[in-house]
Amino acid sequence: MRCLIASSSRDKTESDFSESRQVRLAAMAAEEILELSNGRITAKIAAWGATITSLIVPDAHGNLADVVLGFDTLEPYMKGISPYFGCIVGRVANRIKEGKFTLNGVEYSLAINNGPNSLHGGLKGFDKVVWDVVERKSGECPSITFQYHSKDGEEGYPGDVTVRATYSLPDSTTLRLDMEAVAENKATPINLAQHTYWNLAGHNSGDTLDHSIQIWGKHITPVDENTIPTGEIMPVKGTPFDFTTEHKIGARINDVPGGYDHNYVLDSGEEKNGLKHAAKLKDSSNSWTLDLWTDAPGMQFYTANYVDGITGKGGAVYGKHSGVCLETQGFPNAINQPNFPSVVVQPDNANT
């Protein structure tokens, strides 16, 4: 690789060289896609947004499928074409009403990027930045750890925050993500989520309406016309939102205006090793099954309602309902709803 830092015709100071070198290294890091594999599962993860771009898994017969939506190169992600495919979103995932909140007597105004609201951290959230690769491990439990430092005032949020995300393959059938955020000098809301679009029949197989899902949540947080929770905790029994037993996604989706895009209260799943069972997703042939476990209080169930004709990997065209997002999270707009579990992190206290 050529070094381009001396291409300018003017004299450079040592600090100029350092700045140019940092810019070049950042550009190189942005284009980096790393592979994480245990011989059975193979994930490709980009430093841009700590984004899963590909996840190849076998079924019981050894047939392989790439089960996440995405792009072949990083250019569409970096140009903002991606509707959050595979990335980590933050500083606060989901929506904050009118991009405003008050914390410790100070009112903060955030970037508005979703109607009247702030969504997934704003115009340049954690999905649109380069994360540093701070650790890679091989062996029986291969892993990659990414880190990002979010500065005080970034997208309007208070305080410096250091975020770490570790993807690992602890056994032959498990992909694990551990996320941690440390507020360094000011209290701040933090709500991280992983935004992969799943299609267990293969990313290029069409819509997911024939997928079946079970969600271990007996309640949702219903929303208003701007998709902001009303503050109510609503039972799902007897409604199209009831997935406490397994149903096809498409069976009642027409009874939900626009499709599913709702936060489930994870209040009824089995608990194991500090995690609770959140959801079980199956493709129509029952060849692939995804079991999701989390320690988060909620999960956004989103059926790709706004995906419309996006050209992805291998020329596949992703249409409406072509993927399913299961975004484990704190409740949307929790910073403005005192009856919701708090997402405020105090300085030097990790949010994991």
Per residue in 186-196, pLDDT (tens digit) is 999 999 999 99
What is the pLDDT averaged over residues 206-233?
Answer: 97
- CA 304/CA 320 separation, integer angstroms: 6
At 238 the three-state DSSP class reads coil
Number of Cβ within a 10 Å radius of residue 26: 13
Asked if 73 and 31 count as a contact pair (C-beta separation under 8 A), the reply is no
Query: What is the DSSP secondary structure assignment for residue 3, as one 8-state letter?
Result: -
What pLDDT is recorded for position 352?
Answer: 58
Number of Cβ within a 10 Å radius of residue 347: 14
What pLDDT is recorded for position 200?
Answer: 97
Conformational region of residue 197, where left means phi above 0, alpha means psi within -120 to 50, and beta covers everything else: beta
What is the pLDDT averaged over residues 314-340?
Answer: 98
Query: What is the DSSP secondary structure assignment for residue 8, as one 8-state letter?
Result: S
Q: For the chain, give the percent of residues with pLDDT over 70.
A: 90
What is the pLDDT averaged over residues 139-168?
Answer: 97
At 78 the three-state DSSP class reads helix
In the chain, domain spans = 32-345
Per residue in 67-119, pLDDT (tens digit) is 999 999 999 999 999 999 999 999 999 999 999 999 999 999 999 999 999 99
What pLDDT is recorded for position 16?
Answer: 36
What pLDDT is recorded for position 4?
Answer: 15
Number of Cβ within a 10 Å radius of residue 5: 16
Position 167 pLDDT exceeds 80? yes
Asked if 203 and 291 count as a contact pair (C-beta separation under 8 A), the reply is no
Asked if 43 and 54 count as a contact pair (C-beta separation under 8 A), the reply is yes
Write down the pTM of the prediction.
0.90
- CA 144/CA 51 separation, integer angstroms: 12
- CA 296/CA 226 separation, integer angstroms: 24
Confidence band, pLDDT 50/70/90 cuts, at residue 285: confident
Confidence band, pLDDT 50/70/90 cuts, at residue 241: very high
Confidence band, pLDDT 50/70/90 cuts, at residue 17: very low
Which positions are annotated as active-site residues?
195, 327
CATH of 32-345, one of 1.10.1740.10, 2.70.98.10, 2.30.30.230, 1.10.357.10: 2.70.98.10
The values of phi and psi at residue 244, to 5°, are -65, -25
What is the pLDDT averaged over residues 123-136?
Answer: 97
Per residue in 28-65, pLDDT (tens digit) is 555 689 999 999 999 999 999 999 999 999 988 889 99
Pull the structure tokens for residue 37. Answer: 């594999």
- CA 123/CA 155 separation, integer angstroms: 7
145 is in an annotated binding site: no
- Which helix (H) or strand (E) is 76 found in, with range? helix 75-78
Name the average pLDDT for the chain: 91
What is the pLDDT averaged over residues 249-272?
Answer: 96
Position 11 pLDDT exceeds 80? no
Confidence band, pLDDT 50/70/90 cuts, at residue 146: very high
What pLDDT is recorded for position 242?
Answer: 98
For 112-123, give the secondary structure using H, E and C.
CCECCEEECCCC
Position 7 pLDDT exceeds 70? no
- CA 147/CA 311 separation, integer angstroms: 30
All residues at 6 or more sequence positions from 284 whose CB lies less than 8 Å from its CB, including other chains: 201, 210, 211, 212
164 is in an annotated binding site: no
Query: Tokens 């109607």 sit at which residue?
Result: 115
- CA 235/CA 233 separation, integer angstroms: 7
95 is in an annotated binding site: yes
195 is in an annotated binding site: yes
Would strands 324-329 and 298-302 be described as parallel, antiparallel, or unpaired?
A: antiparallel
